[in-house]
């Protein structure tokens, strides 16, 4: 059994028993709050507070390092990626060769590539990986994403960012509509919070904190 297979098995067992409760955003006159702290208003977005870290590629500090857009290189099922975002944009392209090109992008470049495909996954609810059609709203897709993240944390820098994260993660710009995004705010927050807590439950975090 490979290291990824072993860690994926452990992670899925951990996640199946993980009690995730999504934090609620509260709209007030002067902006949006979470746990009593300002998240964003018309003039600014807050990267972190005492109660949470708000993930955003253009925000400061660890907030940016935890973003799917950040350039962490890793290998997933034999394919090379320059970011997690490259996967989520690449699966919107049915053509395998074009898809693998998209996998090599990160940051807003990866996001903006969605504009060049003629395939509209939202009309069918289907995405593609390595030539295979997958129902976006399926357990098969969810397991694929779990394996993606376990593959990504084999990059020691991404792993360290998650180990360093000492507060719950929120994502204020996330989309809540499962039919218009391949990864909702809820799915992202659930994945990142369970993943960081899984890693921090392992013996390695004790070594890291010394």
Domain regions of the chain by residue span: 3-208
Cβ(170)–Cβ(55) below 8 Å: yes
pLDDT of residue 1: 72
Cβ(47)–Cβ(59) below 8 Å: yes
pLDDT of residue 202: 87
Q: Is the pLDDT of residue 99 over 50?
A: yes
pLDDT of residue 13: 97
Place of tokens 């990504």: 152
* Phi-psi label, residue 128: left if phi above 0, alpha if psi -120 to 50, beta otherwise: beta
Which tokens sit at 22? 């999504």
Contacts of 127 (CB under 8 A, 6+ apart): 91, 92, 121, 133, 134, 136, 141, 182
Interval 4-30 mean pLDDT: 97
Interval 88-114 mean pLDDT: 95
pLDDT of residue 206: 53
DSSP letter at 115?
G
Residue closest to 148 by CA, chosen among 196, 210, 78, 101: 78
pLDDT tens by residue, 140-156:
999 999 999 999 999 99
- Rounded to two decimals, what is the model's pTM? 0.94
pLDDT of residue 204: 59
Distance CA 178, CA 27 (A): 22
pLDDT of residue 205: 52
pLDDT of residue 203: 62
pLDDT of residue 210: 45
Distance CA 204, CA 201 (A): 8
High-pLDDT (> 70) share of the chain, %: 96
Distance CA 77, CA 165 (A): 27
High-pLDDT (> 90) share of the chain, %: 93
Interval 23-50 mean pLDDT: 97
Q: Is 41 helix (H, G, I), strand (E, B) or coil?
A: coil
How does DSSP assign 168-194, residue by residue? Answer: -EE-TT----TTT-SS-HHHHHHHHHH
Distance CA 48, CA 167 (A): 9
Dihedral over Cα of 108, 136, 23, 31: its sign: positive
Architecture of domain 3-208: Orthogonal Bundle (1.10)
Average pLDDT, whole number, for the chain? Answer: 95
Place of tokens 């820098």: 157
pLDDT tens by residue, 56-82:
999 999 999 999 999 999 999 999 999
């Amino acid at each position: 059994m490979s290291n990824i297979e072993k860690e994926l098995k452990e992670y899925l067992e951990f996640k199946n028993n993980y009690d995730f409760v999504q934090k609620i955003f509260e709209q007030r006159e002067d902006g949006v709050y979470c746990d009593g702290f300002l998240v964003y208003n018309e003039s600014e977005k807050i990267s972190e507070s005492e109660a949470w870290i708000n993930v955003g590629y253009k925000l400061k500090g660890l907030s940016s390092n935890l973003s799917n857009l950040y350039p962490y290189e890793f290998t997933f099922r034999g394919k090379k990626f320059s970011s997690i975002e490259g996967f989520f944009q690449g699966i919107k392209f049915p053509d395998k060769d074009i898809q693998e090109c998209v996998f090599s992008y990160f940051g807003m470049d990866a996001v903006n590539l969605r504009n060049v495909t003629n395939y509209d996954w939202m009309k069918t609810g289907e995405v593609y990986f390595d030539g295979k059609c997958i129902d976006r709203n399926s357990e098969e897709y969810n397991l694929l994403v779990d394996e993606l993240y376990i593959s990504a944390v084999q990059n020691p820098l991404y792993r360290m960012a998650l180990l360093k994260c000492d507060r719950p993660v929120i994502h204020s710009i996330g989309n809540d509509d499962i039919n218009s995004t391949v990864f909702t705010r809820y799915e992202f927050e659930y994945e990142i919070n369970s993943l960081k807590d899984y890693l921090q439950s392992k013996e390695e975090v004790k070594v890291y904190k010394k």
